[in-house]
Structure 1
Amino acid sequence: MIGPENVQSLAGVALVLLACWGLSEDRKRFPWKLAIGAILLQALLVLALFGLPALRAGLAGVGTVVDGLANSTQAGVSFVFGFLAGTPNQPYELVNPSGLFVFAFRVLPVILVVCALAALLWHWRILKWVTQAFGLLFERTMGLRGAPALATATTIFMGQVEGPIFIRSYLPSLSRSELFLLIAVGMACVSGSTMVAYATILRDVLPNAAAHVLTASIVSAPAGVLLARIIVPRNPAAEQPQDLDPAQAKRYESSVDALIKGTGDGLQIVLNVAATLIVFVALVAMLNGVLGLFPDVLGAPLSVERILGVLFAPLAWAIGVPWEDALQAGSLLGVKLVLTEFTAFINLGAVPVGEMSERTRVLMTYALCGFANVASVGINLAGYSVLVPERRNEIVGMVWKAMFAGFLATCLTASVVGLLPRALFG
């Protein structure tokens, strides 16, 4: 059944499109057909994934796989770190069992294992076939050319900078619109390794958490393409001919080589995530300390989270969140943008089940599932400066707009999910 809450999400769709149109480099060239097609594609993908019994069973299996990965990873972590990994057999009496969940030992190691598995699956051509299938889907349904379509599909599974690596030799010849599109889509999605980490964080508070996180990253790619095309419209005259060469794809010498290199890549991601979280959480603590010097406002001390909640509460409501949850949801959106999506997911996972409606938790899972944040601006600048140094100045001028597009793309995805009947996700 469609109710007022579903109609409410229409405001989110309209608000996102209007905001991107306001930033457009050519407001007279709004891609109406692409807008309708992209939103319909998002809705159809969600309906298919959660509505078709076979695909729904597959998504349910994803949760089992995530649990298996988490448990297997814990075996390796326990072997290296012993009781520090949070095993049930502790050498002392437990006063607070929940304290056994240590982020560094429960979530970060999962990224290592998934990166190694992704490299192995790529070497075995399984992930390559999946990526090519999605690339063909984006090429046929959204009008992308071969190289950007492949990079867009690869980004869903590999990450915001890793995806474009697969078409590195084509980056200098991409049009401005296509280059902007790749950066925006990279910030609208997440990587396979972080998908599993987010699902691990949410699995105790959100049913089918793994299915929602996987779906969120997939369906946010069309949203990223759409908003990128609105802000920097396509210019066919600037597009140079391309002949996509499969030899450009990443290669490993053997299965062992794939595992070793995948583990090495995962280690870099783990170190980046850990260091970023330490720095940004510390900065927020400093700001909260300064804000605590001011008088209380409405009976509570000022904090970064409260301020962000007030600023982003209208957007959260427009997405489809009930007004009683809007401040809390707005705070999560603000934390995701100003800090990192990891911090926002940790905060979402810490909210007890009874203190947030299930609809809000589902919509926030989709709205938070993207790399668009201030830290990612630096990551993209550093990454693309290596991949295509001759276009660095051009990228500097567009990366903040791309962050804005990526942030709103996940909000658009959440709004589209909010339009659909709640029973679909039951």
Structure 2
Amino acid sequence: MFSLLNLQSLFGLLVIIAACWGLSENRRAFPWKLAIGAVAVQAGLVLALFAIPGSQSVLAAVTSAVDGLSLASAKGAQFVFGYLAGGDQPYSVDNPSALFTFAFNVLPLILVISALSALLWHWKVLKWITHGFGLLFQRTMGLGGASALAVAANIFLGMIESPIVIRAYLARLTRSELFLLMVVGLATVAGSTMVAYATILHDVLPNAAGHVLVASIVSAPAGVLLARIIIPEKPGQGGAHAEDGSDLKYDSAVDAIVKGTADGLMVVLNISAILIVFVALVALANVMLGGLWLFGDHVTVERVLGWVFMPVAWLTGVEWAEAGKAGWLLGVKLTLTEFVAFIELGKIPVGDMSERTRMLMTYALCGFANIGSVGITVTGLSVLVPDRREEVLGMVWKALFAGFLATLMTAAVVGALPAAVFA
């Protein structure tokens, strides 16, 4: 049965689409068919993975796979770091929960998944899955072959690796197609970080691995739609064809593992550096704001973000009583990266947040749309297509806006579905 919260999410969905239409470069060219198709694809994928008979078995398999990867990564980390990574302790432990260390318990998982992703790409397993999703997006949303393939690759490879898949076609993409590639890159996450997020939420959200996987997949159509609304494709343009070949290649299985590990190491180093700097900056800002009081309490960055993004969180379908906490998480995602936001979401005790709000926030946070990713997007595309750097710079902030709203759109679509779907 539908409730007022479902209608609230539907209203939020309309507001999100209207906000992008307000920024459109051609408001008369609203893609009605694409809008219907994108929402239908999103809802269909969610229902297929949660509601159809046998889907729970698939979700259980995904959860088991994530647990297995976490266990295997822990073994490798314990071999290198010993008791610091949860190995045999040289002393008695009074508080086992204090043994969890982000650097030793989560970041090694990214290395393992990055290497495994490269290996599966070399063995053509991930390549065929990507081509399958690319064909789905091409048929249902009218994307060109190159754009469809890049959108599908974003789901598993990430915002920088996916353009490499179609590197030979980047120079020939239209402005609208290039913008679409940027938006979808910011609206989704890489497979390596996807598993890390599921691990963080494992103890506080049922089917956490399934929700994170679905979140990254269904945000891709949302990114496509919002990108097409803001910068519509001109008639007669677009549709660049992509051959079966790809610029992302490895010489052997060993080469894939080595290069995948090296790429994962760069991700780990970037995440570590960003977390240290941004968390320190927030702490510094809180010190500077320490003398200010409002409504009987200290003014902090967290409280300010909560106030600013409170109505935004409400639009996804969150109850107003929890919108402040949810809005704070959205603000953390935009300013401090989604990694910090997921860590904070995982810290909230089960009883302090409803399961619906936690689920919606999982979808709303699952994307690379944050201020730090703006620099990564510009740098990555400037290397791949240096002749279009000025064009990228002119669109990147619009891409951030659309990418951020794309994950909110996904949360709104999920929030509009009956609760029985996820039971």
Normalised-by-shorter TM-score class: over 0.9
Q: Hey, what does 2:414 align to over in structure 1? A: 417
Q: Which residue of 2 aligns with 1:77?
A: 77
C-alpha displacement at 1:335, in angstroms? 0.6
Deviations 1:339-373 (A, max 9, x none): 10001000000000000000000000000000000
TM-score by length of 2: 0.98
For 1:65 and 1:223, the matched residues in 2 are separated by: 27
Q: Counterpart of 1:277?
A: 275
- Report the counterpart of residue 286 of structure 1 in structure 2: 284
Q: Residue type matched to 1:326 in 2?
A: A
Counterparts of 1:133-144 in structure 2 under 5 Å? 133-144=132-143
1:98-145 Cα shifts (integer Å, max 9, x gaps): 111100011110000001111111111110110000000000000000
Match of 2:33 in 1: 33
Pick from 254, 257, 274 the counterpart of residue 256 of structure 1.
Answer: 254
Residues in 2 aligned to 1:39 and 1:243: alpha-carbon distance in whole angstroms: 25
Q: Give the corresponding residue for 2:309.
A: 312
Q: Is the 8 A contact 2:144 2:241 kept in 1?
A: no
Backbone CA RMSD of aligned residues: 1.0
Residue aligned with 1:236, SS: coil
CA contact (8 A) 2:168 2:247 kept: no
The residue identity in structure 2 corresponding to 1:257 is: D
Shift of 1:418: 0.3
CA distance in 1 between partners of 2:241 and 2:313 (Å):
43
Alignment of 1:341 with 2:306, yes or no, is no
How many residue pairs were aligned?
423
Which moves more between the two structures, 321-330 or 252-261? Answer: 252-261
Is 1:120 the counterpart of 2:119? The answer is yes
Structure 2 residues without counterparts, runs of 5 or longer = none
For structure 1, the 5+ residue unaligned runs are none
Q: Within 2, Cα distance between the matches of 1:423 and 1:242? A: 41
1:245 maps to 243
2:211 counterpart of 1:212: yes
Q: Deviations over 1:50-79 (max 9, x none)?
A: 012233311221111111111111111111
2 CA distance for matches of 1:61 and 1:155? 23
State the 1:404 CA deviation: 0.5
Aligned counterparts of 2:235 and 2:174: Cα–Cα separation in 1: 8
Q: Aligned ranges for residues 381-392 of structure 1 at < 5 Å?
A: 381-392=378-389
1:143 aligned partner, one-letter code: G
Match in the other structure for 1:235: 234
Q: Distance in 2 between matches of 1:33 and 1:244?
A: 24
TM-score by length of 1: 0.98
State how far apart, in whole Å, the 2-side matches of 1:397 and 1:283 are. Answer: 28
Aligned partners of 1:84, 1:46: CA distance in 2, in Å?
39
Do the aligned partners of 1:321 and 1:363 also contact (CA within 8 Å) in 2?
A: yes
Q: Does 1:159 align with 2:151?
A: no
1:243: how far off?
4.1
Give 1:161-180 correspondences, 5 Å limit: 161-180=160-179
Q: Give deviations 1:319-344, integer Å, cap 9, x for gaps.
A: 10011110000000011011100010
Question: 2:173, 2:240 within 8 Å by CA — same for their partners in 1?
Answer: no
User: What is the percent sequence identity of the aligned residues?
Assistant: 63
Q: Which residue matches 2:364? A: 367
Could you list the runs of 4 or more consecutive aligned residues of structure 1 that deviate by over 3 angstroms after TM superposition?
236-239
Cα distance in structure 2, aligned partners of 1:22 and 1:105 = 45
